Amino acid sequence: MPKQERDDTKGIKNKKAGDFPEWYAEIVQKAGLADYAPIAGCMVIKPYGYAIWENIKKWFDSRIKETGHRNAYFPLFIPESFLKKEAEHFSGFTPEVAFIDKKEETEAGEDRYALRPTSETIIYDSYSKWIRSWRDLPLLLNQWCNIVRWETKATKLFLRTREFLWQEGHTVHRTEKEADREVMYILNLYKELAETLLAIPVITGKKTENEKFAGALYTTSIEALMPDGKALQMGTSHNLGQNFSKPFNIKFKDRDEKEKYAWQTSWGFSTRLIGAIAMVHGDDRGLVLPPRIAPIQIVIIPIIFEKNKSRVLAEGEKIRKELEGDFSVEFDRRDEYSPGWKFNEWEMLGVPLRIEIGPADIKKKQAVLVRRDTGEKKTIKRNQLKKEAEKMLEAVQKNLFRKAKKFLTDSTVSAKTFEEFKEAIENKKMVKANWCGDSGCEESIKEETAATIRVIPFRGEKAKGKCVHCAAKAKHVVYFARQY
Amino acid sequence: MPKQERDDTKGIKNKKAGDFPEWYAEIVQKAGLADYAPIAGCMVIKPYGYAIWENIKKWFDSRIKETGHRNAYFPLFIPESFLKKEAEHFSGFTPEVAFIDKKEETEAGEDRYALRPTSETIIYDSYSKWIRSWRDLPLLLNQWCNIVRWETKATKLFLRTREFLWQEGHTVHRTEKEADREVMYILNLYKELAETLLAIPVITGKKTENEKFAGALYTTSIEALMPDGKALQMGTSHNLGQNFSKPFNIKFKDRDEKEKYAWQTSWGFSTRLIGAIAMVHGDDRGLVLPPRIAPIQIVIIPIIFEKNKSRVLAEGEKIRKELEGDFSVEFDRRDEYSPGWKFNEWEMLGVPLRIEIGPADIKKKQAVLVRRDTGEKKTIKRNQLKKEAEKMLEAVQKNLFRKAKKFLTDSTVSAKTFEEFKEAIENKKMVKANWCGDSGCEESIKEETAATIRVIPFRGEKAKGKCVHCAAKAKHVVYFARQY
């Protein structure tokens, strides 16, 4: 049987610098991250995409467990009457809520069941039963689950779909200060996840009143800039204050024997992170995965000629065994494809490091390493393989972050005037500018430019002078961008 | 502050040998496994219950991954038209299907969206797009997700709820034989999970035509007997034959260049396993957890008197550190509860092993170990602690299985006549009896006794003589019982 040579129908047709949305949709599907589902606006997360999610989950799950957080599972269904208990929360979410065809007959009439768009209300109903005393606090729970938001805007694989997966943490504390600390502890974990695992640099800060989570006292966020100049919210951590504990009656008897309303936080990130990885690091040949979350970190490709076949396969297998304890390794011993075909395929999948091994390499006691991010080839001594592979993977991880960081820095500009501001937004920049602090002014800027305030940075610059839009006295220096 | 002594409102009021359903509901809630949700028929899986689920997941997930299975995630929503494609499947599930208030307008009219009662149809729609060649086979996928079945029968925490969690595997093969092998591979894994982790002995075999999965060629099952004499189906593995590949058009070009319909399997177990653990091993003081799936395997209780407090706490901490690499350990250093109160609490939670350490023990270089299952106390040398703890945990694991196995054996009787049969069923036995193989006869037995055929055992006894009910020639020796 002749070997399958390079198959051009399999390559990536769109260019990242060309039609970015088409390029994105193409690499996500061709690399096997996700597929469109037969339900409009929904997706199928394919095994390769799901394996990235599992790696993200594993890291985050073990980190929060170290600090006493535990997982639980609350119902998919939320009585509509619960959603209505916190007015701001209700109006923030109802446009996107789907209901089922079953309902409860109550004294007050019918109560429909919503599919959770987020679980504050159903969880806090349980909390009100479980919490009695300061001894029950802090209560630190998290759940990994599916979420339904019946989007009416155009959907996009991973970034906006009617169903997605996420984690949502819901904690209860004795004091406001404790809740503040929890919010920042989680936000810093999110930043660490984004930067050290996903190699995506983020800006952190508080959301404005307009942009905060419906029902929160305040919202903090990590924000990344995508290659098309749009910001992506990668995770949010909210201090809910007593906004939910009051309507849901979450009270505890404190050490001083007084009954008090509890302080709460909630926080989450979703499978959209997988989309961010594809957008930020991908190139015209496909995905480029950061080694720390790559399902396959190293692929070994045997360069086979008929007469040396068994020897090369034996050597490849030996290498696989050497590496598999320390790395996630795949040895592509398929006979029906040529090495060139395999190179293309594994490059499309974004595997960070390729090892080529052929008869000449065996003879010279060497191996060839090829980096996915730069394409750099390096011939190394066979007995240095593990060390060199480890070094190169670290270099890939660092380089991806450095490149993304440079892009973020280069794409962030300051604007003094509204003319400069508009031009920068049109040029797909993240814009640092003075803002007066007024929600109406923020709303006008959004209407005129489609840009919103991504965050008011923590420990940001002191505002001097006037608001970039209304010329009132500036209160904050903030980051603006268009967003996903 | 005086210490909190034994609190009788916290103890288990019902007896296992008394009102079994009430006892079950009580231990599930008081031990923190699950709670009723405010939606009728739904449950909240509390952190302690969820931690058991995580342990089960971890074991099973790593086992199926070793054999090349991968996880993915398919939509919660299934177009009604998909459910209808396999007629038997549709009629088997529709009574319990919930739909959402969103639909698709199609040429053929409206297509409603169901919440998955099981995912064959939505998954196989994707498979029909992904599979082209024998090179794409076998396709071995699994998903961990929530399932919705709007039960009309009385619900019961873990055992029958309108939403539950499960894993569902969906594999595609070139040949029927390969599919057969997969079915049995998974069934044997389920048996291993039940018997060696959960310490619950099971009977394995094939389901009858009446009892098989709607749409399957045949269904295999692992069945356990609960203390109230009802059988519980703990996991099922189906050979779907080509029953779905034909309506869903899952075809592949084989090595011989011919297009063929694929052979498929599906298999699953759910959070009901947690209920089985509680029922089988629990006692009048609460849960008794098998060490291999216990979230906490060992609890250390300091026996504190005011003057030795710091020394005892230091020793407890030392023990915790010694054990924590090998076991999941909790050191209960709370000051506000007495040792007696703590004993009760950890017994209710079913922690398999308790270590007591007090000033006298420190002096004598010893520690006291107490088994949850038998209550046996053993004073051991301090320097033998780790070895003794390991031995005792193994003994608990074995003893739980042995006890459950004895119950199963003692509760399984043979019936020659239908009188004997009815009496045995009334006496809450599992009944081994001759059966003619006729579905109508099976149906009559069910109507008269509420007992169904749990399985036709693999390599069962050869049937001699007449059917226990209709007196026609016997075809199989099968197991009957009432069921959950």
A322-364: per-residue pLDDT in tens?
999 999 999 999 988 999 999 999 999 999 999 999 999 999 9
A401-410, B149-158, B186-195: lowest mean pLDDT where? B149-158
CA distance A2 to chain B (A): 14
Residue B441 pLDDT > 70, yes or no? yes
CB contact B259 to A (< 8 Å): no
Half-sphere exposure at residue B11, Cβ-oriented, CA atoms within 13 angstroms = 13
Number of Cβ atoms within 10 Å of the Cβ of B95? 11
Same domain, A65 and A112: yes
Residue A125 pLDDT > 80, yes or no? yes
Same domain, B304 and B229: no
Structure tokens at B391: 């031995």
Print the domain residue range for B466.
412-483
Q: Which position has the token pair 């003075």?
A: A434
For A39, the closest of B51, B113, B130 (CB atoms) is B113
Instruction: Look up the ipTM and state it.
Output: 0.96
Among residues A394, A354, A346, which one has the least CA distance to residue A370? A354
Spatial distance between the Cα atoms of A121 and A45, rounded to a whole number of angstroms: 28
Same domain, A423 and A457: yes
Can you give the pLDDT at residue B103?
84
Same domain, A128 and A251: yes
CB contact B7 to A (< 8 Å): no
Q: Is residue A292 part of a domain?
A: no
Contact map slice: A 139-168 vs B, CB within 8 A: 141, 145-146, 148, 150, 163, 165
CA angle B157, B163, B164 (to 5 degrees): 70
Same domain, A174 and A259: yes
Name chain B contacts of A163, Cβ cutoff 8 Å: 75-77
Same domain, A312 and A238: no
Same domain, A319 and A443: no
Question: Dmax over Cα atoms in chain A, in whole Å?
Answer: 84
Residue A482 pLDDT > 60, yes or no? yes
Structure tokens at A76: 């998919």
Can you give the pLDDT at residue A5?
61
Q: What percent of chain A has pLDDT over 90?
A: 90
Can you give the pLDDT at residue A2?
55
Q: Which residues contact A269 (CB under 8 A, 6 or more apart)?
A: A60, A166, A167, A190, A193, A234, A235, A236
Mutate to test the interface with A, among B3, B30, B76, B141 (most CBs of A within 10 A): B76
Residue A51 pLDDT > 50, yes or no? yes
Residue B308 pLDDT > 90, yes or no? no
Name chain B contacts of A150, Cβ cutoff 8 Å: 102
Q: Is residue B399 part of a domain?
A: no
Q: Is residue B406 part of a domain?
A: no
Spatial distance between the Cα atoms of A156 and B298, rounded to a whole number of angstroms: 48
Contact B75 A163 (CB under 8 A): yes
CB contact B115 to A (< 8 Å): yes
Contact B165 A73 (CB under 8 A): yes
Name chain A contacts of B135, Cβ cutoff 8 Å: 336
Q: What is the mean pLDDT of residues B249-275?
A: 98
Q: What is the mean pLDDT of residues A106-133?
A: 93
Residue A69 pLDDT > 50, yes or no? yes
B269-278: per-residue pLDDT in tens?
999 999 999 9
Q: Is residue A287 part of a domain?
A: no
Phi then psi for residue A415, to 5 deg, are: -125, 130
B-chain residue closest to A32, CA distance: B130
Residue A107 pLDDT > 80, yes or no? no
B32-46, B100-114, B296-310, B435-449: lowest mean pLDDT where? B100-114
The three-state secondary structure class of A138 is coil
Same domain, B248 and B315: no
Same domain, B337 and B274: no
The last residue of one of the domains, among A392, A421, A452, is A392
The angle that helices B47-66 and B272-281 make with each other, rounded to 10 degrees, is: 110
In b/e form, how buried is each residue of B293-323, taking b as 16+ CB within 10 angstroms? bbbbbbbbbbbbeeebeeebbebbeebbeeb
Contact B50 A70 (CB under 8 A): yes
Among residues A450, A428, A427, A452, which one has the least CA distance to residue A439? A452
Q: Which residues contact A190 (CB under 8 A, 6 or more apart)?
A: A202, A222, A234, A235, A237, A267, A269
Among residues A60, A96, A184, A248, which one has the least CA distance to residue B38? A248
Residue B349 pLDDT > 80, yes or no? yes
For A70, the closest of B35, B38, B51 (CB atoms) is B51
Name chain A contacts of B51, Cβ cutoff 8 Å: 70-71
Spatial distance between the Cα atoms of A439 and A211, rounded to a whole number of angstroms: 10
Q: What is the mean pLDDT of residues A287-309?
A: 94
Contact A74 B37 (CB under 8 A): yes
Q: What is the mean pLDDT of residues A77-86?
A: 93
Q: What is the mean pLDDT of residues A420-426?
A: 97
The three-state secondary structure class of A343 is helix
Looking at the DSSP bridge assignments, the partners of residue B70 are B141
Number of Cβ atoms within 10 Å of the Cβ of B342? 21
Q: Is residue B400 part of a domain?
A: no
Contact map slice: A 165-224 vs B, CB within 8 A: 165
Q: Are B452 and B247 spatial neighbours (Cβ–Cβ below 8 Å)? A: no
Contact B102 A104 (CB under 8 A): no
Residue A132 pLDDT > 50, yes or no? yes
Can you give the pLDDT at residue B90?
84
pLDDT band for position A93 (50/70/90)? confident
Can you give the pLDDT at residue A6?
55
Q: Which residues contact B147 (CB under 8 A, 6 or more apart)?
A: B116, B117, B118, B163, B164, B165, B166, B168, B270
Same domain, B213 and B353: no
Q: Is residue B154 part of a domain?
A: yes
Can you give the pLDDT at residue A4?
63
Contact B102 A45 (CB under 8 A): no
Can you give the pLDDT at residue B152?
87
Q: Are A165 and A76 spatial neighbours (Cβ–Cβ below 8 Å)? A: no
Residue A413 pLDDT > 50, yes or no? yes
Contact B70 A50 (CB under 8 A): yes
pLDDT band for position B136 (50/70/90)? very high
Residue B1 pLDDT > 60, yes or no? no
Name chain B contacts of A75, Cβ cutoff 8 Å: 37, 39, 42-44, 163
Spatial distance between the Cα atoms of B373 and B115, rounded to a whole number of angstroms: 41
Residue B254 pLDDT > 80, yes or no? yes
B-chain residue closest to A35, CA distance: B126
Q: What percent of chain B has pLDDT over 70?
A: 98
The three-state secondary structure class of A157 is coil
Q: Containing H/E element for A232?
A: strand A230-241
Spatial distance between the Cα atoms of A167 and B78, rounded to a whole number of angstroms: 23
For A101, the closest of B76, B99, B125 (CB atoms) is B99
Spatial distance between the Cα atoms of B191 and A130, rounded to a whole number of angstroms: 36
Q: Is residue B288 part of a domain?
A: no
Contact A39 B135 (CB under 8 A): no
Looking at the DSSP bridge assignments, the partners of residue B481 are B452
CA distance B206 to chain A (A): 31
For B47, the closest of A72, A77, A100 (CB atoms) is A72
Q: What is the mean pLDDT of residues A383-396?
A: 98
pLDDT band for position A97 (50/70/90)? very high
Task: Say how many domains are in chain B.
Answer: 3
Contact A101 B100 (CB under 8 A): yes
Q: Are A70 and A114 spatial neighbours (Cβ–Cβ below 8 Å)? A: no
Can you give the pLDDT at residue B451?
97
Same domain, B183 and B233: yes
Can you give the pLDDT at residue A36?
96
Mutate to test the interface with A, among B39, B69, B127, B158 (most CBs of A within 10 A): B39
Task: Please indicate whether residue A138 or residue A462 has the higher confidence score (pLDDT).
Answer: A138
CB contact A1 to B (< 8 Å): no
A170-211: per-residue pLDDT in tens?
999 999 999 999 999 999 999 999 999 999 999 999 999 999
Contact map slice: A 44-63 vs B, CB within 8 A: 44-47, 50-51, 53-54
A435-439, B302-306, B392-396: lowest mean pLDDT where? B302-306
Name chain B contacts of A165, Cβ cutoff 8 Å: 73
Name chain A contacts of B145, Cβ cutoff 8 Å: 146
Residue B113 pLDDT > 50, yes or no? yes
CATH number of the domain within which A318 lies: 3.40.50.800
Name chain B contacts of A117, Cβ cutoff 8 Å: none
Contact B50 A71 (CB under 8 A): yes
Torsion over CA: A318, A320, A323, A324 (sign):
negative
Q: Is residue B117 part of a domain?
A: yes
Measuring CA to CA, how many Å separate A70 from each of A45, A104, A169, B350? 26, 31, 9, 18
The last residue of one of the domains, among A392, A424, A448, is A392
Structure tokens at B166: 């499960």
Contact A43 B72 (CB under 8 A): no
CB contact B99 to A (< 8 Å): yes
Same domain, A387 and A417: no
Q: Which residues contact A216 (CB under 8 A, 6 or more apart)?
A: A238, A239, A240, A241, A243, A266
Name chain A contacts of B165, Cβ cutoff 8 Å: 73
CATH number of the domain within which A435 lies: 3.30.110.30
CATH number of the domain within which A118 lies: 3.30.930.10
Q: Containing H/E element for A55?
A: helix A47-66
Can you give the pLDDT at residue B306?
78
CA distance A96 to chain B (A): 11
